[in-house]
Amino acid sequence: MAETRGIQSEDLYQLKSVANPQLAPDGKSYVYVQTTIDEETDEYQAHLFFQTLEDESEAVQWTYGKGRNHSPCWSPDGTHIAFVSNRSGKNQLYLLNVNGGEARQLTFLASGASNPVWSPDGTKLAFNTSLKTDKTIFDEEEKEVKKTVPLEVTKMKYKSDDGGFWQGDYKQVALVDVKSGDLTQLTDGAYHVSLYCWSPDGKYLAVGADFTEETDLSFIHDVYLLDIAQQEFIPVTNGAGYFDSVSWSPEGNYLGMFGHQREFENATHPKVWLFEIHSKKLDCLTSNWDVPVGDFMVGDFQQGAVSPGLLWSNDSKGFYFIGSEQGNTNIYFGDVNSGGIQPVYTDGGHVYGMSIHSATQKAVIALSKPTAISDLYLLSLSGEPSSLEKLTDVNGSFLQDVVLSKPEPVEFSGADDRKVYGWMMKPLGFEEGKKYPLVLEIHGGPHAMYGNTYMNEFQLLAAKGYAVLYVNPQGSHGYGQEFVNAVRGDYGGGDYQDLMLAVDSALEQYDFIDENRLGVTGGSYGGFMTNWIVGHTNRFKAAVTQRSISNWISFYGVSDIGYYFTEWQIKADFRDIQTLWKHSPLAYVEKVETPLLILHSEKDYRCPIEQAEQLFIALKRLGQKTKLVRFPEENHELSRSGKPSLRKSRLDYIVNWFEENL
C-alpha cells in the first residue's frame, strides 16, 4: 500500500466531479454529468453517464471524445435523452436513444443552442439561442473574417465577466421538431428571454424577461406565459422584483418559482412563490421563513452544477427545493395548502443537485462534504433524513492514498454580540504541543456562505502544514435576512470586526496556533477584505489578495456591475467621492506593512485588473514587499473554472508566498 499523503496542487488533474443527476420517468435509472481534466490538452471534458438503480452494475459512459456534453433531459416516455454538446465547435442540441446508437445532432444553428426543454407529448424541444435583432435562427453562419473593428458603446451594461463585451446578441426562444428537425422561432427583439418549462397541456411556455425600455437602470426579471400559438406574452409577476427557476405543477394549476422584490437589493433572500393559474394570484409561500432558497455555498471544485429549482410532487400538492442554512444546503418540502415547510434532508453537507421521482419517493442528489469530494446518493424522501445510499465513488481510488483534514465547527460572539459561525481545519500530521501557522480564508460575495463542502484550496493548505480558519461574517447567507443585509453600507466595519474576533477566538480556543505566524487570503469581496485588513492591522505576517477591490471610486466605472453594485453595497455613487474613498483599501495603503501577494486575471471584468495595478504601484512606491501575478485570458472565475494549469499555478503561488513569509 502506498504511503498516504495530503492534497497537492497537481491533484487537480486527477479529481473528478459529478453533477446534474436526472432520474428517468420510470424512476429505475438515471443519467448524470461527469467532468474530468485532460492534462495533455489542459481542457475540461464532460460526459454523460447512465446507471440503473435496480442492480449494482457500474455506470455506463454514454458520450465520448473531446469537449463538453451536458444538460441531459429525458423525453416524457423515457426513450431518449436530449443534451447539449460542443463537439462540433459550438453548443448544439443532440438526441440519444437510450437503447443505444450514436447521438443525433438536432440543431445546426449559427447562433448555437442551449437549455433544452421537452414538450409534454415528446415531439418537440424548446431551447434558447442568442441572436442579433437583424438575425433569425434560419440564417446561415457567416464566414468569420478576422479584423479589428471599433466597439460602439451606448449602454452601461455593455460587458459581463462571463460573456466579455456585448456584441448585440439577445437570448431568444425557439422550437425544434425532434423527428423532422423543423425549426420555429418564437421570440425576437431587443430583449433577453429565458426559457423555463412547458405547460402540461402544451399550450404555453413559462419564460422570464425584462421588457423595461431602459434596462441600464432596471434590475427586475419577470415571469411570463408565452402563448405558443399566438406568440404573445401573458404577465405572471408584477414588475417589482427578480424571479426565476420556474416550474409548472403536473396538474397544471400552479407555477412555482424562486424570487424576491428587492427589499434589500442583491442581499434579499430569495423565497418560494406560487402563481395560481386560474385565479392569477401570486403569493409568497416562505415570507415568514428566514432562510434563502437556493444554493449559496462557496466552493472551488464542483463542475457543471445545476440548480434543480422547485421540483413538484406528482399530485401537485407539494414540492421539493434546496435552501442554504447555517453552512449547509438542505432539502425541504413545501406544502401548497398549508404553506408549511418541512425538512427532508438536513444531515449536513452541500447538496448541489437533485432529481426526484415522486411515485417511488426517491431522489438522486449530488452531495459534497469536506472529506467527501463529489458523489451521487439515493435518498428516500419519506424515510429518515440520514438514510443515504451512495451511488457513485468517482474519487474512491484516488482517495485510498490521500488523507483529508476534517474541519471542526467553531462559534463566537462577533460585532454587536451577534453569533458568528465557522470552521477550523487542523494541519495534516497534527501533533499535540506543536505550534502551527494559521491562514484566515475570507469568501467572496459578500452574500455567499462557507460551509460543509469540499474545498480544494483549504485541503492543500492543511496538507502543507497550515491550520485554516474560515468563517461567515456579517453579510453571509445562511443566518437570516438581518445578518446578510448588515454589511451593506458598512464594508470594513462590522465585517472586519467579525473576522478579527474570529482570529481572537481561535487563538483563545486552540493553543497550537502560532500567533506570530498568521496569514490571510480571500478573493473578490474576500480580496477587498484582505486589502482592508492589511491596511488596518499588522497582526498578519503574510497576505494574498485575489481578484480584489482596492478603489471604489474607479470600480464604480470599470466593473461590469460597478455602478449599481457600489450603490447597493457602499450606498454611495460617483457624486459621493468621500464615502467611496473612506471604504477603499487604497486609502489606507500607507499603513500596510504585511507582505502582500496580488493575484489577478487579465480579463476579469467583475473586479478589473486596474484594481490590482493601483494597489501594486502604490505599495511598490512606498517600498513595501509585494508581487503582482497576472493570469492571461482568465476572468473572475479562475479559481473555480479557469484553465486547469492556471488554477494549479494559482494554488502554487498562494502556498509559496505563505511558505516564504510565514
Non-local CB neighbours of 467 within 8 Å, separated by 6+ positions:
424, 425, 426, 427, 436, 437, 438, 439, 510, 512, 513
User: At 127, is the secondary structure helix, strand, or coil?
Assistant: strand
Q: How far is CA 391 from CA 5, 18, 303, 317, 395, in A?
A: 26, 11, 18, 29, 12
3-state secondary structure of 417: helix
Distances (CA, A) of 547 to 528, 550, 554, 604, 650: 9, 10, 15, 8, 12
Tell me if residue 144 falls in helix, strand or coil.
coil
End-to-end CA, the chain: 34
For residues 244 and 258, the answer to whether their CB atoms sit within 8 Å is: yes
What gap in Å lies between CA 177 and CA 290, rounded to an integer? 44
Active site residue 524: yes
- The CA-based angle 638-640-645, given to 5 degrees, is 60
Start-end of H helices in 236-305 = none
380 belongs to the catalytic site: no
Spot the catalytic one: 476, 524, 548, 559: 524
Helix, strand, coil distribution of the chain in percent, nearest 5: 20, 35, 45
Catalytic residue among 192, 447, 636, 639: 636
Instruction: Identify any residues that bridge with 422 across adjacent strands, giving them in sequence order.
Output: 410, 471
Dist. CA 452–CA 429, nearest whole Å: 22
Cα–Cα distance between 406 and 152 in angstroms, integer? 52
Match 434532508 to its residue by C-alpha cell: 345
- Full DSSP string of 207-234: EEE---S-GGG---BEEEEEETTTTEEE
- Do the Cβ atoms of 460 and 9 come closer than 8 Å? yes
Rounded to the nearest 10 degrees, how much is the dihedral formed by the CA atoms of 386, 392, 393, 394? Answer: -140
> Starting from the edge strand earliest in sequence, which strands make up the sheet with 114-118, in order?
114-118, 124-132, 169-177, 183-185
Which residue numbers are catalytic? 524, 636
